[in-house]
Structures are given as structure tokens and as C-alpha cells.
Amino acid sequence: MDRERYHRQLILDGFGTTAQDKLLNSNVLVIGAGGLGCPALQYLTAAGIGRIGLADGDVVSLSNLHRQVLFATTDIGKLKTDVATERLAAINPEVFIQSYPFFVTRNNILELIADYDVVIDATDNFESRYLINDACVLLKKPLIFAAVSGYEGQLAIFNLADENGITTNYRDLFPVPPAKGEIPNCSENGVIGVLPGIIGTMQAAEAIKIITGIGKPLKNKILNYNLLEQSFYEIEVTPAPANSYVLPKDSSSFLKMNFGNQKADIKKSVIEIDISELEDIRQKKNTLLIDVRESHEVPQLNRGEFKQFPMSALQNLLNEEIVEDHIILICQHGIRSLSAAEYLHEKYGNEKNIYSLKGGIARWKNFFTS
């Protein structure tokens, strides 16, 4: 151990070499290298966690940079795990960074988290939250959960018994996943850049408290933070009534669980396409291009080519009688368009070919702005 590196921690009353040794012998898995994951990773690395796992299959994009300060403009297009591993090693070469350059799924998550002491959920979608929660419950792993949107953030610790022996999990707070498109995430609702930095740093702090035994971790509590008012309040989380939800009892039942995976559940008639496929389809007769973003979102598209039906007024689209045979829906990130495509499929069935642009305008920005 490099004592000078950790000197300010070692001299803390109630911390010392005992707590530092616990950190150096610990394993923490961070799922997601976004707005929450970046600060959590930086502070855990600096604190001296022995082994940190990082799972994320995404690449750096320009829209990440206002909040994901582990990355730079020159990193755009690079795998987040590659960039993060290099930067974190520069912060503290004593820490081993285990990189997993892929997204977690029901097929890989149990094996992934098995060797870690603590799991940090730094994702930004409901499918992943339920997937990670149920895996942690099954394997009895402490889970540090966080979420941010707009100017507010939430933080909680699940699957860790409090002083009364009570254990809760994410489903005690939200028993079942919300309907597709029902609740927007931060890519749709927006988020002030500094907010995930604050909440992600809190996730790192809770991990350090769990590992070292200092302080009072947020067991069975959810902390709510409002940036505009600089205010906090806590809510007690209690076990939900019996039969409110179902948890997997073993790995076999886990693999059969429905975590609200839009892509897995979507009917085959709704097809996700890339930009080259969009170009091919739009050349066909009887093709309609629909933008489901709100009117204020940029870049603005040519209204001579794209018809606009904001997702916030989805019923207007459903009430419209579409005569075209081919319907292509787009949005900023390919999330709302996929949801809208499902609704259209419920209306038209196999009468029409319905498509959603995968990754949305954010992924194919050069095409839409050139």
C-alpha cells in the first residue's frame, strides 16, 4: 500500500489502516459508465478499491460530455470502457480495473456479478434496473441504486439488512416495470450536468461505507435530492405486501423473467433499422416519415419530408388514419420511436410495415444536419 496516496484517509478518526485494508481487498462492480458511473468510478479508484469492474457497451458521444467528465471531445466514437480504463489507471495504478465492454443482459449478469462484493447500478433505463435488482436479490449482493432526471436525484441501498434484519429491494419501491414510454428517462426529459456528478459521488460514498463499516449506509431508505433548492429528504422503504411482485428463485427462473425489454418483447412487425435501411425504405412508394419528438427539440427536420406527432400527444397519431404502407418513426435516441411503433402495430397489425430508427437522430446526426 502506498501510504502517502491514502494519507488523508488513514489519519481520519475511525478509519485508519483497518478501513483502508478493507477497501484494498474489496471488489466493486459499476454497471454503466454514464453520468452516474463516471464520478463513482473516479472516486472509488482514488479511494483505493482493490478491484473495480466496469460494464458498459456504449461509445462516447458529444451529448455525453456535459455530465460524463471522465471523457473528452477527442474520445467521441471510442468505447467508454476503453477510455475509462485508461483514465482510471492514470488516477490510481494500484487499482485493478476489469473492463466488460458490453451491456448487461439476463444471459450474462449472474456470472458477471458473482465475484463482486457490492454492485452499483449507474444505468438510466428501467429494464436494466429491474434486471440488476433481481440478479442482486438472487445472489444476495448489496445494490447501490441511483436515478437522476431534470434537477432531482434519488439514492438508495437495497438487498442489505438493516439493524432490525429487514431487507428490501427495488421492487418494494416499484413492484413492476412501468409501461413502455410511460416515464421518460433523462435522454428524453433532460438533466442538468452537475446532478449525476453529485449523485454518482454519493453512490461511491455509500460503497465505501458498506465496505469499511463506517457511518450509517442508506439501508431501506431512499434519499431524494433537489438541486434547485439544495434540499434533501428521506423516505423509509418497507417490504411491499405479499404477492405485489415475483422474484426469481433460481437461475433457471431468472432467465425466464420479463424485465420490460422493449426489443425482446416487441412484435416482429416492428423493425429497428439503421440509416442506410431508412434511405432504402424511404425511396419506396407509400412511405411516411414521422418525427415523434417534441416541437422544441433540435435539430429541426424538414417538415416537407417528416410529419411531426410528438410522443406527448400520442393519441393524435393513433387517431390519424395513415394510408401509407411503410411507416418510419424517429426520435432523438430511438426510444420513443420504438414505443410509438408498438402502439401503431397494435392499431394496424400486419397491414403495414412499421419501422423505428435505431439510435435515433443522436446516432445519425451527420445525416440529419449535413
Q: Write out residues in the chain with pLDDT < 70, as ranges.
A: 179-189, 260-269, 370
- Which pLDDT value is given to residue 315? 85
CATH architecture of 266-369: 3-Layer(aba) Sandwich (3.40)
Q: What is the pLDDT of residue 148?
A: 94
CA distances from 103 to 33, 108, 109, 259, 358 (A): 11, 9, 9, 14, 16
Other residues' Cβ atoms within 10 Å of the Cβ of residue 119? 29
Residue 71 is given by DSSP the state -
Q: In this structure, which long-range contacts are made by residues 175-182, counting pairs with CB atoms below 8 Å and at least 24 apart in sequence?
A: 175/240, 175/244, 175/245, 176/245, 177/126, 177/127, 177/130, 177/259, 177/260, 178/126, 178/260, 180/260, 180/262, 180/338, 180/339, 180/342, 181/311, 181/314, 181/335, 181/336, 181/339, 181/340
Start-end of CATH 3.40.250.10 domains in the chain = 266-369
Parts of the chain belonging to CATH 3.40.50.720: 7-261
pLDDT for 265 equals: 41
CATH of domain 7-261: 3.40.50.720
For the chain, the 3-state helix, strand and coil shares in percent, each to the nearest 5, are 40, 20, 45
Instruction: Give 184's contacts (C-beta < 8 A, 6+ positions apart).
Output: 149, 336
Which residues make Cβ contacts (< 8 Å) with residue 262, sequence separation at least 6? 127, 180, 335, 338, 339, 342
Give the percent of the chain with pLDDT over 90.
66
Which residues are designated catalytic? 186, 331
